[in-house]
A and B are shown apart, each in its own frame.
Chain A
């Protein structure tokens, strides 16, 4: 069976559906295929924190652009996407953290992101449940929260309205040189293939520099008003950067329902979805250090998901040099929800030759095409 597509997108997570919308909006004959339907992988497992991050100038540019795109999209999102501009509080524990708060504020200001420094008292006023005696915080009011699976459904619906086609659920067993082979024996012919498979991108392309990085989340029963912002410890960055060891960081999010999401953990080498109880315990204890009364709340569910981690903490967006038909849209690690919207635009720009709003070079997969082993870089 042969059909002629301009682009077949493999993976209907939030990145794949964003790519579908941008491609369809440019008149490309677009198909999306996923073995499990829309938003079922990391899209359903993540927190849905729309956050500007400044580990590197390239990360700042991508997350800042994405945050603006989310705010533009917010008015069109259905209520079930639960978008809220709650803002992030980067919580500082000591003087050293406060130095980092000010450094962070300068970097954000340079990127056009307004922030506010809260001292110890202002922080206690903003979030009374936080442990007393914390040094302060950096408030990023423009950060947001979204329920990613419903946001992905919305993107797919919009893409379909513009002519994109969601194909019957089916596993892809090979995708190269303009041909997508399906497990049921089917075959799709296309000018371009977009690999938007998240942490599973290596199943089709084992040569990709992507490792699965498992994370745990806890969700509580409904306690409206317990916290008001997304709360993240400044040390999160140190934790997220540790590439060798398992780590946890304080990261708590209030959902529109009054529930709390409690994170976060990072693990390499854990390939199954089971729960690592010692790590879960460390994660919850970390949350209790910052929010002592969290011990009185009732958790109702714990789950894991897989981030697609690259060696340099930047995603892989753009053409894969070994195959003219292949475009990558993966490797977003913990920022896939945030950067999905910009990723769609960068992918569409790569397909049509238009000039994107930000320079695409830092995200191009070509940076890994040679000497994969020599690129273990960390942006501190």
Chain B
């Protein structure tokens, strides 16, 4: 029997989100119903390319700003903040 995959819990803007291992932070942010960042002029932005090129999915992860959420996998107790 394959090893059981247990969901992990992280927070997006303080709210708990439950995802399966291997989920990207970008997906967790979408599950939480949030967008990722605001442009200089305040327009909302979200993941566009999903492959680390467009930089539109940047969020703050565990206090480190401007992380590309589509390139980072969720880990337990991770704290994600969007703008």
Contacts and interface: CB of A to CB of B under 8 A. Distances in A.
Interface in B1-60: 40, 55, 58
B77 interface: no
B64 to A, nearest CB: 8
B40 A223 contact: no
A221 B60 CA distance: 13
Nearest to B58: A221
A298 B40 contact: no
Contacts of B55: 300
Interface residues on B, range: under 10
B76 interface: no
Contacts, number: 10
B40 A221 contact: no
A244 interface: no
Binding site secondary structure of chain B: strand
Contacts of B58: 221
Contacts of B65: 221-223
A222 B58 CA distance: 11
A373 B28 CA distance: 68
A2 interface: no
Interface in A200-230: 221-223
Nearest to B38: A222
A227 to B, nearest CB: 16
Contacts of A300: 55
B5 to A, nearest CB: 33
A184 interface: no
Interface of A: 221-223, 257, 298, 300
Given A221-B66, A223-B65, A300-B55, 7 more contacts: A221-B58, A221-B65, A222-B40, A222-B65, A222-B66, A257-B40, A298-B66
Closest 5 CB pairs of A and B: A221-B66, A257-B40, A298-B66, A223-B65, A221-B65
Interface of B: 40, 55, 58, 65-66
